[in-house]
Structure 1
Amino acid sequence: MSINMEEPMRFTVGCRLRYQVKAPIAFVFNVAVADSACQEITEEKLQTDPDLAVEQVKLVAGSRHMRLHAPVGEFTLHYRASGTRAPVQVSTAGLAEVSPAKLPLDIVHYVYPSRYCPSDRLLNFAAREFAAVQPGYVRVQAICDWIHANVEYAFGASDAHTAANDTLLGRRGVCRDFAHLGIALCRALNIPARFVTGYAQGLQPPDFHACFEAYLGQRWFLFDPTKLIPLDSIVRIGTGRDAADASFATIFGSAQMTEMNVFYHETVQETESDGHTALSTC
C-alpha cells in the first residue's frame, strides 16, 4: 500500500449558535475540531453567553463532546479554532474489503444496523445493485456515484426522524441523508462504515457537513456522495455510527435555535483528486 502525507494545510473554523431557552436544560455540543492524528489544533477559544461551566469528553476518532447547563433566556455559544491538517493519500489500487471474520473486534459493530442506518432493510437492494461490482474501493465509490445520480439534494426534504431506507424510497435529502444511505448500503454488503461531520470549504450557505468513512485495507477512508465539497477540505468534528452519535447539538429539554453561523477559512490552494487516490483523515 502506497501512502503519502499531504503538506499541512492551515485552517480557521468555527461557529456561533444562539438559542432561546424556555426552561433550564442541558446541551451536548459536538462542534469542536476533533483531536485526531491528521489534525493539530494550534489555537482554540470557546465562549458562552451567559458564562457557563463546560464539561468535555473525548470519544471516537478524537471527537470532543461538550456538556453544559443553560438557564432560561437567550443562550449563545461561540467556538473558533485554528490549526493544521495533513490528510493521508493512499493509492486506490488494492484497497480491499476485509471480511467480518478478519475485522478487528473494535470495528465489527460498524457493520451492524443502527438507528438511522437500518442496513438489514436494504440487503436485497444492495445485493441487486452492487454485488457484481468489484469489491473494495471501487464498490464503495459505485455506491456514492449511485446515490449522487439518483437522490436529489434538497433542503427541507428530511427531518430528525428520516432514516436511510426513507431516503432510498423518497430519493431526496441533505448531506446527512446521503451519508446515512451510503453507510447503510456499505453495511448491507458487510463493509464497515461510519458517520463523519466536519467543517468544509465551499458550502453555500455555510453549514456543518456530513459524509462517511468506509473501512478498507485496514484503514478508514472518506467518501462524500453529495460531491459538494473538496473531500480534502474537511476538518473533522464528530464520528459515530450515525447522526445520533455525532449531531452538532443534542438538546435535553425545550429550546429554539434562533441563529446558526458557521465559517471556514483555509490558507492553501485546493487540490483535486486524480481518481486514483483515497483520502484518510483519521
Structure 2
Amino acid sequence: MWLQASCSLEFDIPVPTPFLLMLRPRSGTQQWVAREDYMLNPSVPVVEFTDQFGNLCQRLVSPVGWFAIHTTAVIEVADAADAAPGAPFVEVQCLPDSALPFLLPSRYCESDRFSQMAATITAGFLPGYNQCMAIVDYIRNTLQYAPGAGQAIISAAEVNQQPQAVCRDMAHLGIALCRALSIPARMVVGYLEGLMPMDLHAWFEAYVGGRWYTFDPTQDSLAGGRVAVAYGRDATDVAIYTQFGDPVELLSMYVSVDRLPGPPH
C-alpha cells in the first residue's frame, strides 16, 4: 500500500538551541520512500549524517522565537507485517555482527534482570519466533495499553511493575525479555496507519530465522501500514528530536498517516 505520513513540530525557542532530529524514514526491504518534503521555518543550515544504526539524522541550531519543522513522506509499505511461526532461534555465534549490539542490556532494557522471567514465560515454546510470540502475548495480557498515559521514559524493570503502559514501555519490556533469551531485539519508532489516537508509534523487532521480524504488543494482529523512521537499542537511540541546553517549549505536535489510492505521479 501507499501511505503519506507527516509530522509537524512547533517550538518556542528562548535562546539559539542545538537540535538533533531523526525524522526521515529510509528505504529498505520493508519500505520504499518515493517522495519527501522537509521544511524548516525559518530556514536554517542543516547537516545530515547516518548514525551507527543507519538512521538518517539532522543537526541544526534553531533561532530564537517561533520555530517549526514539517516533514512529509510518501512511502510504499507492506499490507501486512510478516509472521513466521516456527522460525528458529539463531545461535549467537551465527549472528551477523550488526545484530550483536541488540543482545546486550541497555539503559531502558535491563535484560540481565529478566533471565528467569523470560524462561518461565517461554517454557514449552519452540526457541525463536514462537518464544517472541509468547512474550508478546504475556505483555498484551498483563499490561493495559494506555496511549498518552506516560510522558516520562521508564525502563523495562519499571514497566514490569505497572498495570498499564504506552507503546514505548511495552516495547522496552518485550526487548528486555527477548534479549534475556539471547534473541537480538531492537526498538522501532515510526508511523502506523489507523493508530488511534494518531501519534508516532513504537514497536520492536527480533532477529530469528535469519532476519528481523516485527512484534507489537499493542495490537491484536500484526497490522501492516508501518513506516519505520528510527531503529535503536531503546528509547535513548530513537528520539525524533533532542534539544541541548536550556529547555524549550514544544507548542504543538501533529502526526498524520493517510492511505493513498496508488503511487505518486
Global fold match (TM > 0.5): yes
Residue 278 of structure 1: aligned partner: none
Q: Partner of 1:146 in structure 2?
A: 138
Partners of 1:194 and 1:99 in 2: how far apart?
17
Among candidates 264, 267, 281, match of residue 260 of structure 2: 267
Paired positions, count: 261
SS in 1 for 2:194: coil
1:57 matched to 2:46: no
Residue 101 (structure 1) aligned to one of 93, 103, 122: 93
How does 1:196-215 map onto structure 2 within 5 Å?
196-215=188-207
Which of 65, 68, 76 aligns to 2:60? It is: 68
Give the Cα–Cα distance (whole angstroms) in 1 for the partners of residues 46 and 103 of structure 2.
34
Pick one of 14, 26, 30 that aligns with 1:34.
Answer: 26
CA RMSD of aligned residues (A): 2.1
The Cα shift of 1:268 comes to 6.0
Partner residue in 1 for 2:249: 256
Counterpart-to-counterpart distance in 2, 1:14 and 1:123: 39
Cα offset, 1:105, TM superposition: 2.4
Describe the SS at the equivalent of 1:107.
Answer: helix
The one-letter amino acid of 1:211's match is W
Give 5+ residue unaligned stretches, structure 1.
1-8, 270-282
Distance change >3 Å, CA 90–CA 159, structure 1 → 2: closer
Aligned partner of residue 250 in structure 1, secondary structure:
strand
Shift of 1:91: 6.1
Per-residue deviation, 1:65: 1.2
Q: Shift of the alpha carbon at 1:159? A: 3.8
Which range moves more in the overlay, 133-142 or 30-39?
Answer: 30-39
Match of 1:276 in 2: none
**Paired amino acid for 2:257:** Y
Q: Distance in 2 between matches of 1:78 and 1:171?
A: 35
SS of the aligned residue for 2:224 comes to helix
**CA distance 1:265–1:228, shift in 2 (3 Å):** farther
Q: Supply the distance in 2 between the matched residues of 1:268 and 1:184 (Cα, whole angstroms).
A: 39
Q: How does 1:116-127 map to 2 (within 5 A)?
A: 116-127=108-119
Report the more deviating stretch, 121-130 or 10-19: 121-130
Identical columns (%): 37
Q: CA deviation at 1:229?
A: 7.5
Q: Choose the corresponding residue for 1:158, options 135, 138, 150.
A: 150
Q: Which runs of 5+ in 2 are unaligned?
A: none
Q: Take 2:243 and 2:25, find their aligned partners in 1: how far apart are those partners?
A: 20
The one-letter code sitting in structure 1 at the alignment partner of 2:163 is: R
* CA distance 1:145–1:133, change in 2 (3 Å): same
In structure 2, relative to structure 1, the CA distance for the partners of 1:229 and 1:76 (3 Å cut) is farther
Structure 2 match to 1:134: 126
For normalisation by structure 2, the TM-score amounts to 0.91
Kept in 2, the 8 Å contact 1:35–1:64? The answer is: no
Are the structure 2 counterparts of residues 90 and 233 from structure 1 closer, same or farther at C-alpha, using a change threshold of 3 Å? closer
Q: SS state of the match for residue 225, structure 1?
A: coil
Q: Secondary structure at the match of 1:95?
A: coil
Contact 1:201–1:229 (8 Å) recurs in 2: no
CA distance in 2, matches of 1:88, 1:230: 7
Contact 1:203 1:229 in 2 (8 A): no
